Amino acid sequence: MGKYFKELKPYYYNDNAALYLSDTFEALEKMLPEKADMIFADPPYFLSNDGITCSAGKVVSVNKGDWDKIGGIDEKHDFNRRWIRLCRRVLKPNGTIWISGTMHNIYSVGMALEQEGFKIINNITWQKTNPPPNMACRCFTHSTETVLWAQKADKSARHFFNYKLMKEMNGGKQMKDVWTGTLTPSAEKRFGKHPTQKPVYLLERILLASTVENNVVLDPFCGSSTTGVACKHLKRNYIGIDNNAEYIQLSIERLKNE
């Protein structure tokens, strides 16, 4: 992999992956411009509100950690605008960004994308076949997440979409914007758990849809590096950033052993 940052050395590095233990904002400010072909971001959803949910048949807290808490709506939206603005600078002119979220954050993300000079291409609904039950029984079971796909809103921007492959993967029919599948299986958590870990199949589809081999894929909130694992499977170059040493170490184990 080439040089992508100034004054920032990787915590871990191999032929097609580099991990940076750093504050996301600081790392993105030090990243050289227009280096990423694609960005996948799974930012904090800010859903840690002292509520309860169900996990493995047990009642557990919904709180993920201090990184998942925010002071209010204005602070949340400012956070989203700041990191999206920095991502735009490091994204190539024809590159695209994918951002996952729930109702707790995705509407702010969508507005922030447009305010920071992006055009939304698709609104993907990821429907989970085995979501946790609703413990309060006062609303419908939360069984979906949204993944926004966007490009720069420049008239010259031409994003890549592997239409033919997506159609083949969907039995010869155009693939729709509702994707159905399971939550992350336990086999993908054998080196440790991250509270918002995505399944590999989801990232592989995103990569196949919008990148080609040897493209550079950036994940600014990499967590346990599911993005990196998918990149390894599909021969893409991966850059992961996270400020949590425990998650970076988990990422290293996965990248070495998956």
What does the mean pLDDT of the chain come to?
92
Task: Evaluate whether residue 6 is within a structural domain.
Answer: no
Separation of alpha carbons 251 and 192, rounded Å: 9
Evaluate if residue 111 carries a pLDDT over 90: yes
3-class state of residue 20 by DSSP? strand
Instruction: Tell me if 5 is assigned to some domain.
Output: no
| Range with the poorest average pLDDT among 38-47, 53-62, 108-117, 197-206 | 53-62
Judge whether 115 and 56 are in contact, CB under 8 Å.
no
Residue linked to tokens 């999206």: 84
Q: For residues 227 and 131, what is the distance between their CA atoms, to the nearest angstrom?
A: 22
At residue 38, the pLDDT reads 98
Question: What pLDDT sits at residue 63?
Answer: 45
Residue 1 lies in a domain: no
Range of the domain at 84: 12-257
Sign of the four-CA dihedral 215, 221, 226, 228: positive
Judge whether 105 and 80 are in contact, CB under 8 Å: yes
pLDDT reported for residue 60 = 42
Find the helix or strand (DSSP H, E) in which 96 lies: strand 91-101
Asked whether residue 249 is domain-assigned, the answer is yes
CB 242 within 8 A of CB 221: yes
The total of structural domains in the chain comes to 1
Residue 83 lies in a domain: yes
For the segment 128-181, what is each residue's pLDDT rounded down to a tens digit?
999 988 888 899 999 999 999 999 999 999 999 999 999 999 999 999 999 999
Cα 28 to Cα 162, 196, 212, 248: the distances in Å are 28, 22, 23, 17
In this predicted model, what pLDDT tens digit does every residue of 194-242 receive, in sequence order?
999 999 999 999 999 999 999 999 999 999 999 999 999 999 999 999 9
Mean pLDDT of 74-96: 97
Q: What is the pTM of this model?
A: 0.90
Mean pLDDT is lowest, of 2-6, 55-59, 198-202, 229-233, for 55-59
64 pLDDT more than 80: no
Cβ–Cβ < 8 Å for 201, 179: no
Residue 4 lies in a domain: no
> Residue 185 and residue 29: Cα distance in Å, rounded?
35
- Establish if 167 belongs to a structural domain: yes
Give the CATH number of the domain where residue 142 resides.
3.40.50.150
Does some domain include residue 253?
Answer: yes
